[in-house]
Structure 1
Amino acid sequence: MTVHVLILCTHNSARSVLAEGMLNHWAQRLGLEVQAHSAGSAPSGRVNPFALAALAAAGVDTAGFHSKSWDAFSGPDAPPLSLAITVCDSAAGEACPVFHGAPAKVHWGYPDPSNAEGDDAKRQAFELTRQAIGYRMLQLLALPLATMDRVALQAAATEIGAR
């Protein structure tokens, strides 16, 4: 049975997209039945090109990435979520809708790489953010996700975020 993880950021254009890409990339490479999704409370309607470039440079397939609302994960047709991770402080402070599956919820904050000044600095900021997120996603995938209950998953994911 596939474990579904939702990564949230306000605009769903940078950090949440990096996290979705890295989690899916590592899960596929490791042969794990884990599927990442990303969404935002106020989606921008576009994915930041620096995010796509950082993912592509790391060998991640970026086809089909798009900015979408978190409302898509609260309806009856939504996948049952095991975990919801906020990756920006503003999304962490917002009241989330009720997601299908009643997932465990944790916050792993990252500075917004979009705030870097100049193209070279932005490229570096996005790459460093991608690496940091990728490292945490590997730690998450080392857990026995398919057999963990909500309380254990929340505790383990919270610990990963504190490292």
Structure 2
Amino acid sequence: MNWTELKNQSDIDKLLHTFGGFHDSCLKELHMWTGTYVEQNFGMCFPRDLGSDTNARVLFQRQWPNPAAIELLFEGVTKIQIVPPPAEYLPLIFDAQIVLHNDQFHWTDNDEWKTGQAYSESINLIASKGLKWRDVSEWLGKQNRYGVINEENC
């Protein structure tokens, strides 16, 4: 499973075309991590490039084949806001957009959002310095791919 790096608007357009603009899809899972950690001696370790240490992998599944599931890798995350839908709404993505603005990629499932516009409390948005994607169609289904919930530990 090779990653395809997005570099420009043409790459974005190809991804959106390939995945049908995220129509009839869902955000299945999200895994976020940083380069900051605490060592066994309780010393705090920070990455050399403090502005690029947050990354996220996001799994999307959709009701169409070729591809039926993709994974996005956001590198150098600068903004992340994921809001679960209210109880009366389906957690379905009708359309999404990816905007390249000021050398950052902005993914959002709000097709009316514009760069420079304030983030509403209900918008799902991830902004990052780098963005890659890959076809993971074999990852359809209920199974978690980024972590397993062990009922005995809950």
TM-score by shorter chain over 0.5:
no
TM-score by length of 2: 0.25
Give the strand-richer structure, 1 or 2: 2
TM-score by length of 1: 0.24
Largest Rg, 1 or 2: 2
Give the helix-richer structure, 1 or 2: 1
